[in-house]
Amino acid sequence: MNDAAGAIANRGQELLSRLQEVNALAELQDADVLAAIADEQLRTLLLDQQTLALLVNDAFLARIQDADLVAYLQSEVFITKLVQFSQAIHLMEQIQSVSPMDVLVMSLPVFVIAFLVTLIATPIFRHLALRMNVVDRPSEARKIHTRVTPYFGGLSIFTGMLIAVLYSTSITDQWPEGYRSIPLGVFVGMFAIAVAGLFDDMTNFASRFKVALILVAAAALAQSDVGTRVAAGLFDWMELEFLNDLFIPQFPNWSVANLIGAVIIGIFVLGGSNATNLIDGLDGLLSGVTGIIALGLLALSLAMLDFMRLIDVQLLQVSMGSGNPLTDGITLAGVRIVLSLALLGSVLGFLPYNFNPAKIFLGDCGSLLLGYMCVVIILMLGEVGQTELMLAGLIIFSFPIIDTSLAI
């Protein structure tokens, strides 16, 4: 028994020295424990499961002379943080256990379904648009087509993506622990954007109502925690981290970062969807450009799977609030890939009917929806506030942005 206790004490000596190197845990407040764990030396030490067990070992604690340190190590606050750290290690191992190629192979049916459904649905919606007389007539000099062309291409895109994305919910059980399912806000936003565009195609829909529905889509994303850390990452990059902890007195659960993050989401969704709407002026242009954008976002999303760090997992844990990371997941890594594949499959399924001379047009329903889906994926790139990845996503989306800037 003495030998066992001695072995515990010897092993604990290194731990004690490391604990003191990170500014004596006894002096830390509960909110600062993650900052201490973020120290590279302590993090490396705690990656060892035996060391984690040692921190709650009575024999080890009995040999610590500092009573305040013992009290802190036995406190509920520290034990809670220790459990969270153990979860973070487990989740990181699970996320890294699946290669990007494995995730791509698991998700490929999403691409196939989006492609086939859109390919089959487009002639059906074309016939429906002709019967309902929802068509574009070449009555203005700026229009280059010479014959009546039906709308409702957006409905075929919407149908293909929706069915493919709904199918993806059946494969989420194959994903590793830590992967989130597709947030409800994405579906709400798809419906809101599609309805706004469809009304505009069929009627003289007031612009203010269309903008209102687009902002509803943005609000749904914010409610589902998609893109809410964009502002926090921007403040970190600008060395204005104090704004992340500055809360609004009237709304104690809202920080300045949350408020500005919600505004950024609204600007992204409104700007991105209208940017794609503006470039939809030539047969096959928007569909082709969106296909290239989807390929770029897919490649970036796959590359990111190899760069998930422990500190990223911890930040995602904190952002979840009261959710259970093990059952609800923490990262949108799988969702980004699914949405990119659904977007790519749907535009490729639509393109054969949209090449010059186009047999059917996307209409506002399709052009707004394609922009919205691109923006959703870009916002998901910054789920832990990585401004550099958001910038990479915006560069991939640069053609619609540049075209809109020149038009303005």
Query: Quick check: 5 pLDDT over 60?
Result: no
Most confident of 24-28, 127-131, 168-172, 293-297: 293-297
**Cβ atoms within 10 A of the Cβ of 86, count?**
14
Query: Quick check: 369 pLDDT over 80?
Result: yes
For the packed helices 230-237 and 387-396, what is the interaxial angle rounded to 10 degrees? Answer: 110
Query: Quick check: 82 pLDDT over 50?
Result: yes
Q: Taking Cα atoms as reference points, which of 232, 223, 234 lies closest to residue 255?
A: 232
Residue pair 369/191 in contact by the 8 Å Cβ criterion: no
What pTM value is reported for the model? 0.81
Residue with tokens 């280059």: 144
CA dist 40 and 20 (Å) reads: 14
Among 260-269, 304-313, 389-398, which is the least confidently predicted range?
304-313
Structure tokens at 294: 């989807």
Residue with tokens 């000596």: 13
Residue pair 393/300 in contact by the 8 Å Cβ criterion: yes
- Quote the pLDDT of residue 7: 47
Residue pair 247/254 in contact by the 8 Å Cβ criterion: yes
Task: Give whole-number Cα distances, 153 to 8, 134, 197, 281, 298, in Å.
Answer: 69, 11, 11, 14, 23
- Quote the pLDDT of residue 165: 94
CA dist 51 and 80 (Å) reads: 16
Structure tokens at 366: 């399709």
CA dist 392 and 207 (Å) reads: 31
Residue with tokens 């830590």: 178
pLDDT band at 29 (very low <50, low <70, confident <90, very high): very low
Taking only the tens place, the pLDDT of each residue in 245-280 is: 666 666 656 667 777 888 889 999 999 999 998 888
- Residue 348 CA from chain centroid, whole number: 23
Taking only the tens place, the pLDDT of each residue in 318-357 is: 666 556 666 677 788 889 999 999 999 999 999 999 888 8
- Quote the pLDDT of residue 388: 81
Taking only the tens place, the pLDDT of each residue in 374-390 is: 999 999 988 877 778 88
Question: If residue 284 lies in a helix (H) or strand (E), which one and from where to where?
Answer: none
Task: Give whole-number Cα distances, 238 to 226, 233, 242, 254, in Å.
Answer: 22, 9, 11, 21
CA dist 183 and 319 (Å) reads: 15
Residue 182 per-residue DSSP state: P
Q: Which residues pair with 331 in a beta bridge?
A: 179
Query: Quick check: 61 pLDDT over 80?
Result: no
Residue pair 339/187 in contact by the 8 Å Cβ criterion: no
Residue 183 per-residue DSSP state: P
For the packed helices 363-381 and 207-223, what is the interaxial angle rounded to 10 degrees? Answer: 30
Taking only the tens place, the pLDDT of each residue in 135-161 is: 877 765 555 556 778 888 999 999 999
Q: Under the phi-then-psi rule, with left for phi > 0, alpha for psi from -120 to 50, and beta for the rest, what region is 287?
A: alpha
